[in-house]
Every structure is written in structure tokens, then in C-alpha cells.
Amino acid sequence: MVKRSSFGETKLTSIGFAMPLDFPSEAYEKTSGILVKYKDTHPTQWVSFGLGWRGLKNRYRAMVEYNEEFTQSIKKHGNSPPFEERYKQEKALFGFFVSAISTIECFFYSTYLVGAILKPDRFTSDFESLKYLYPQNVMEKFVANFHGEALTGKMKECVDDHMYIGMRDMRDVLSHRGELPRSFYRGGERNGMATMPTNPKDTSDLWRYDFSIDENTTATYHQWLYETLKGLTSAAADFCEKTMACKE
């Protein structure tokens, strides 16, 4: 069963910002609380860290809101609504995947800056170094410099997961190529269903229409992101607590 989150039931105590119940607030605030000690000694790294860390919470909240918008529309109007409602569904679907992947990317960007404080010679924080930071790049940096750490393991699990890869590909196509078509079925095992391609980056003649459009379309990914972010932020908080204490 797909987990549903109640929105606006918890707040980040440091700023009083409403967040979904399933957001890992404790680990999130613990990490930023440790990093704030370096705002004067490492101002460039601190500002860049904050850029990503603030983005993480905003993108997660947006992801939850888009998930609820899409799911409620499907429940009320079905998978083949009139054009105006179809537009609303597509807008929510686009917003969901963009926000979900941005959540992950903001986390990895921020953790790169943690590395920049700990090992500035290995994690350079000049303009060119920060220009093209992607989760895969950051994970490889941590494998090379913090091998064996729980955080490094969680990073690798995330970028290797088929759920992340599927969300990333969907984000890329919706952002850069346009709106994917839906295939509708009448009769047979898929009667009443609607699907989209599960391999949207391939050419259209190779598309496999196995991505179901229903009330679990975004909710399933929301559940994955919740569980993944919980593990990542918990590992990040523990990593910072251990390594920053050694640095001091």
C-alpha cells in the first residue's frame, strides 16, 4: 500500500516553515545546525550549502503538493478528462517529477559542500567546480574520499536505484522534449487503463507503454523519495556529527 502524507502538520522549528509530516525534519535541522558553525570560517561553502539545503525543503514540499493535486484529479476526473482538466493533470505531473528530482539534486549539491569544508583540496568550491555537479559526480567523490561511510553507501544506493533513474528520465523528457502521449485501452486485460512510455528517452517506435496513469502514478514515487530522503538525511546528520567533531 502506498503511503500518504498529511501536509502542513509539522514545522521546521528553526524557521517555522510548514512541512509534510513525512519530511525528515530532525535530521534536516541537525545537519544545518552543525554546518552553521562554519558560516564565518568557510563563508563560500556555507552560502552554497544553504542554497541547496533550503532548496531541498522547498522542492520536497512542492513534490508533495503536486502529488496530491495529480492524485485528486485522477480520482475525481479519471485518466482521460476534458482538455482543461488534462492540462491540470499534466501540469501536476511535470511539477512532481521536476520537484522530486530537484529534491535529490539539492541534497547531493549540499553534501558536496560538506566535503568542501572537510577536504577543500578534493572538493574544490570555485565557480567551475560547482557548475556541473550532479548526484553521480558527488557520489563518486564521496566513494573516493569517504569510502565505507554510511552516507556514501546511501548515496550510491540512491543513484543506482531504478526508481531514481526512472524519475530522472521522466524529468528530462518532460522538461526538454514536451508532453508524453497516453495510450488508452478498451477491452482485454488493460480495459479502462491509460499508460505512458516507461522508456521516454528512446525514440517513439521503441516506446513501451507500461507506465500506468492512475491514483498511484506519483504516489509510488513519493513513497520512494520519502524513504530515500529519510535515509540520506539521517546518514548526513550522523556523518557531519562525526567528521565535523574530528575537524574541530
Give per-residue pLDDT as tens, 55-94. Answer: 999 999 999 999 999 999 999 999 999 999 999 999 999 9
Q: How confident is the model at residue 203 (pLDDT cuts 50, 70, 90)?
A: very high
pLDDT at 128: 82
- 3-state helix, strand, coil split of the chain in percent (to 5) is 65, 5, 30
Mean pLDDT confidence for 230-243:
97
Q: Specify if 84 maps to a domain.
A: yes
Q: Specify if 206 maps to a domain.
A: no
Per the prediction, the chain carries an average pLDDT of: 92
C-alpha cell at 88: 491540470
Domain that includes residue 70, residue range = 10-180+214-247
Helices (H), strands (E): how many in the chain?
A: 8, 5
Q: Are 88 and 73 in contact (CB under 8 A)?
A: yes
Residue 43 pLDDT > 60: yes
The pLDDT > 90 percentage for the chain reads 87
Buried b (16+ CB within 10 A) or exposed e, 76-95: eeebeeeeeebeebeebbbb
Q: How confident is the model at residue 127 (pLDDT cuts 50, 70, 90)?
A: confident
Which sign does the torsion angle of CA 231, 233, 234, 236 carry? positive
Residue 229 pLDDT > 90: yes
Q: Specify if 143 maps to a domain.
A: yes
Strands (E), the chain: 10-12, 17-19, 183-184, 194-196, 211-212
59: closest CA among 83, 6, 95?
A: 95
Helix (H), strand (E) at residue 212 = strand 211-212
Q: Specify if 5 maps to a domain.
A: no
Mean pLDDT confidence for 94-117:
97
Give how many domains the chain has, as a whole number: 1
Q: How confident is the model at residue 1 (pLDDT cuts 50, 70, 90)?
A: very low
143 torsion bin: left (phi>0), alpha (psi -120 to 50), beta (else): alpha
Q: How confident is the model at residue 2 (pLDDT cuts 50, 70, 90)?
A: very low
User: Cell 556541473, residue?
Assistant: 132
Measured CA to CA, the distance from residue 48 to residue 43 in angstroms comes to 9
C-alpha cell at 227: 524513504
Other C-beta atoms lying within 10 Å of the C-beta of residue 53: 20
Q: Specify if 2 maps to a domain.
A: no
Mean pLDDT confidence for 119-147:
92
pLDDT at 247: 59
pLDDT at 125: 85
Q: How confident is the model at residue 205 (pLDDT cuts 50, 70, 90)?
A: very high
pTM: 0.93
Residue 219 pLDDT > 80: yes
Q: Specify if 40 maps to a domain.
A: yes
In angstroms, the first-to-last Cα distance of the chain is: 45
